[in-house]
Amino acid sequence: MAAPKKSRGLGKGLDALFGDAEVTLERTPAKVSEKNVAMETGEKAEPKADPVAGGITYIDINDIKPNSNQPRKTFDEEKLEELAASIAEHGLIQPVVLRKAGKGYEIVAGERRWRAARKVGIKELPCIVKELTDEENMLLAIIENMQREDLNPIEEAEGIKQMIDTYGLTQEQVSKSVGKSRPYIANCLRLLKLPEMIVGYLAEGELSTGHAKAIAGVEDEDRQIELAKDAVKNGWSVRQLEKMAREEKPAAKKPRKAAAKNANVKRVEEDLKEALGTKVTLNQKGNKGKIEIEFYSKEELERLIEMLKNVK
């Protein structure tokens, strides 16, 4: 069979995953072994055929493994328990999307469903098997998670970066593939340049993408960390954080160094100091300048005035 062509036009997202397959609403049935069928009917058990690509079939849950390119790295246990309870009550409403991998199958989309189904002891899952290249497998896994908003901001950003670094997509191609704007993609990638502490806050859900964008607009790294800590500690909204980021602390002004005076200027200052008996400063700019004569009391001022009046 000819290898499937690589596709850059993945903007259809989930439509590309499920195609025209009909989604089952029935609870997953218990597995019936071929051996038991043979014993009851007296017929020789036929080996189980591979699922037809694109159609829905039931596959042993132990023959399925997670996707090595899964962009999601963390799974909320509380939400998994909620999903498991729903599956136990209503069955698995949406099939898991797989591709062949060695003797079994690899998940393309639906790892949360697979994990939750394992929790409630389901033996078989309704699945759709797709023939996908490694590139298509990774892209569809990222698209599926992004369209469902299942990823935290850092997982999303790392998935986008992987699409660019591993498969050479441009930001424009990623934008079309995941159905997000070009500025959205650029802002996601900026998150990965934030300090490690802030990246941790984002990955743990303590800060949102909106918070991160406000912090990323601040140039000073120490100020970024300070804002992130305050936002987490005080539970700031995105608007509150944006306001605080705008009120950025002004950098301390460095004192201006006085221009080095040449020997002639210093000699004149010393001569005037000796003549007047007080500190004299000569500030010269080209052929112009000013002389500053210091005094420390009313009497000293009067003395200096009299001396200057008598200068001939």
> Which residue type does 250 have?
P
Q: Which two tokens stand for residue 233?
A: 């500690």
Whether 111 is catalytic: yes
Provide the angle, in degrees to the nearest 10, between the axes of the packed helices 134-147 and 171-178.
60
* Cβ–Cβ < 8 Å for 99, 108: yes
Enumerate the H helices of 98-167 as residue ranges.
111-119, 134-147, 153-167
Could you count the other beta carbons within 10 Å of the beta carbon of residue 110?
25
With H, G, I as helix, E, B as strand and everything else as coil, classify residue 4: coil
Which residue of the set 106, 111, 155, 158 is catalytic? Answer: 111
* Cβ–Cβ < 8 Å for 10, 177: yes
DSSP for 238-265? HHHHHHHHHTPPPPPPPPPPPPPPPHHH
Q: Which residues are catalytic?
A: 111
